[in-house]
Amino acid sequence: MKALILAGGFGTRLKSITGEEIPKPMAAIAGKPFLEHQINFLKNNGINEIVLAIHYKANKIKSYFGSGLRWGVNITYCEEEIPLGTAGAIKNAERYMEDTFIIMNGDSYAPINLDEFIKFHKSRNSFCTLCLAKINIETLDYGSVIVDNDYITKFCEKEEIGSNLINGGIYIVEPGIFQYIPKDREISLEKEIFPNLSRIRLLKGYIHDGYFMDIGKPETYKKFKSDVLSTIFLKQEASIIDAIERMNKNEINLILIVDDDNKLLGVLTDRIIKRFIINGGDIRGKITQAMITDPVIANVNDEDGINKLLSSGINSLPVVDENKRVVDIRFRLEKMYEESYPIIRGKSPLRISFGGGGTDLPYFFEKYGGAVINATIDKYCYATIVKRADKKIIIDSDLTPEEDIFVSSIEELVYDNRFDLVKAIIKIIRPSFGFELYLHNDVPPGRGLGSSASLAVLLINMLGNIQGVNYSDEKIAEIAYRAEREELKIRGGWQDQYAAIGGGFNFMEFDQDKRIIYPLRLKEDVIHELNSRLILCYIGKDHNSGEVHGDNWEKTFKENEEEVSMRLRIIKENALKIKDALLTNRLDEIGKLLHESWENKKKLGRNISNLHIDEMYEIGLNSGAIGGKLLGAGSGGYLLFFHQPQRRNQLINSIKKNSGEILNFNFESLGTRIWNVKQ
């Protein structure tokens, strides 16, 4: 069973104790944050899966507890950007709760028998069960609860005459509770949800006749602290075994031996007991045999002296009055550092390829050499990555209405045709932390604009940055290529990765030993004129480039190498000619070169073109286009048309009339960019 601790409150009433920088759940009790006492309570009752709902000073809580490994539990963080009340915090944690779960208020403590509580809930077939603390009605300072035959029938305000039963701050609920909590609005569990459940008889009460404390006010915080410290006291008649058991139960490494007047007689710690046993002492003996009788102590009226002793390295310090009666115990607090949990955003441009596609495939360029020319455009894939304190990985994309991936660790990532490229990159880089990844695109993937490679390059940059690693361009391209070609066995070329890395116009050469990227420095007038003579037309049927390239291309190449290599060499030579035309401002030549390359490329395989593509291409040629090509591997996506400027409108109208979609674009001179978000 999982437990959810509501630890996101501001703790306004406790600010006089904690100050502005310490969140209420981190208020120190016997050298430990209050939240640590709650976590230890859950762990000791067999609850190891804990979700912390946090908001105020969340990084301090995450920095202290991390993944929970130190405490032998697995902690998940559910952080609210905007606090939406106690019920809103529960609703926010819905993704983590698949079955019956426990809820604990982050400012109350009731050491109940959880096994009995759970048995009560299950045996009554309860939907929601509240722990009800029985307190002295004479000192009642809370609203009370009326119970009839296990059902909670009424919540009474403090001023009303009710009962001596109050909300104990621990609940067991079924996951069906989420349907009663509206999304995205502030709502109280205690004031709205519980009364509503009570009215429809879905709320039962389990009576706890034992200790209860709410630390939300200075006076109750001090009382709880005093109660915890009193468990550290033992009388001189106790045995060493008693002391060991008490320290284990408290999870506080200290016992003070006192007389009936609370005068300090000695001190025991785990280290003192071990030394006693090593020196031949009997563990069954009295604590007076093992205790240190002259411990370091401080006077209650000497605050400066107390602080000096604690800062000198003493972990725990008994504080006594003038009669040596123990009035307090002070602990050296572990410095509460605040780790950084950065948010990084980025965008990576998509690209259009003018020529050379197919020659960047290894089975061709390793023998004949390859060359491509492409340019990035102002259409992007975007990502935001949020580092988590736990190991959870969450992937959310605009391609689907719901959250896409949620796993507890990298080991749970499996390839299932959902964001497999993202998973492959994560598996290769293996970050040591969890994170949330939010993705969206200007253009859906599979349309021939290199979106997969752009996303890969962006994600590699971001994961490197968040780990403090600055990958070289070559390393980024290598990881992206490995993810697609080796990890996922997807066939494809090299051009897209390098286009997304550097951006702008690039001419690329590939051979068996090296890859050389030549950024082209074109005049602004040339870029603007080229832009004005190009149109992107979406003709439908998104494709998977790996499926198109696949084994068929390589098989066709090997079976008919002479003809295929001849056509690819023409495509390669045309890429060189397009480069020269751009550099010398001979743009009129580009249309014919695009056309010749496309005529050769579509003969490389039956799945590159089809009747619909051929018809749309012919419509373009008859409406003012000089030439063009299908972008990407083939079978669907975007047609790129190079047209006569005077016939642009005619071309666009003809395309739209035949159900084509026009995508307006400009060229982008920059490559992938990432930046840190100020928090």
Asked, for residue 338, whether it belongs to a domain, the answer is no
**Residue 498 belongs to some domain of the structure:** yes
CATH number at residue 513: 3.30.230.120
Do 249 and 204 have their domain in common? no
How much is the pLDDT for 362? Answer: 80
What is the Cα–Cα distance from 297 to 318, expressed in whole angstroms?
5
CB 481 within 8 A of CB 493: no
CA–CA–CA angle 645, 648, 654 (5° rounding): 150
Asked if the structure places residue 675 within a domain, the reply is: no
What's the CATH code of the domain at 35? 3.90.550.10
Q: For the segment 241-265, what is each residue's pLDDT rounded down to a tens digit? A: 999 999 998 889 999 999 999 999 9
CB 145 within 8 A of CB 130: yes
Q: Is 676 part of any domain?
A: no
**What would you measure as the largest C-alpha separation in the chain, in angstroms?**
106
Looking at the structure, tell me whether residues 251 and 372 fall in a common domain: no
Residue 646 has pLDDT above 60, yes or no: yes
The yes-or-no verdict on residue 637 having pLDDT over 80 is: yes
Q: What is the pLDDT of residue 358?
A: 86
Q: Is residue 651 one of the residues assigned to a domain?
A: yes
Q: Considering the domain boundaries, does residue 501 fall inside one?
A: yes
In a shared domain, residues 98 and 187? yes
Assess whether 198 and 287 both reside in one domain.
no
The mean pLDDT value of the chain amounts to: 91
pLDDT at 544 over 60: no
Domain total for the chain? Answer: 3
pLDDT of residue 404: 79
- Residue 588 CA to residue 303 CA, distance in Å, equals 86
* pLDDT of 515: 86
Q: What is the pLDDT of residue 563?
A: 86
Q: Tell me what pLDDT residue 548 has.
A: 47
Same domain, 243 and 318: yes
Query: Where do the DSSP E strands lie in 471-555?
Result: 505-510, 515-519, 534-538
For residues 268 and 315, membership in a common domain is answered with yes
41-45, 477-481, 576-580: least confidently modelled range: 477-481
Question: Looking at the predicted structure, is the pLDDT value of residue 184 above 90?
Answer: no
81 and 117 within one domain: yes
Question: Same domain for 445 and 493?
Answer: yes
Please report, for the domain that includes residue 258, its CATH number. 3.10.580.10
**Same-domain pairing of 251 and 187:** no
Supply the range of the domain harboring residue 290. 231-331
Specify whether 656 is located in the same domain as 533. Answer: yes
Kindly list the catalytic residues. Answer: 496
Which whole number is the average pLDDT over 393-398? 93
As a whole-number percent, the residues of the chain with pLDDT over 90 amount to 71
Whole-Å CA distances, 553 to 183, 310, 448, 561: 51, 73, 17, 11
pLDDT for residue 659:
92
254 belongs to a structural domain: yes
Residue at a domain's end among 331, 363, 386: 331
Rounded to whole angstroms, how far apart are CA atoms 482 and 425? 8
- Say if 566 falls within a structural domain: yes
CB atoms within 10 A of CB 526: 18
DSSP-derived letter for residue 133 is E
Domain end residue (candidates: 214, 245, 273)? 214
Percent of the chain residues past pLDDT 70, beyond the cut: 95
Residues 254 and 369 in one domain: no
Show which of 187, 214, 241 is a domain's final residue. 214
Pairing of strands 625-630, 638-643: antiparallel
User: Are 388 and 268 members of one domain?
Assistant: no
Q: Lowest mean pLDDT: which of 11-20, 197-206, 249-258? A: 11-20
pLDDT at 543 over 70: no
Question: pLDDT tens across 338-372, in order?
Answer: 788 899 999 999 999 999 988 888 888 888 999 99
Q: Determine the Cα–Cα distance for residues 455 and 346; give it in Å rounded to an integer.
A: 10
* Least confident residue range of 154-163, 265-274, 580-589: 154-163
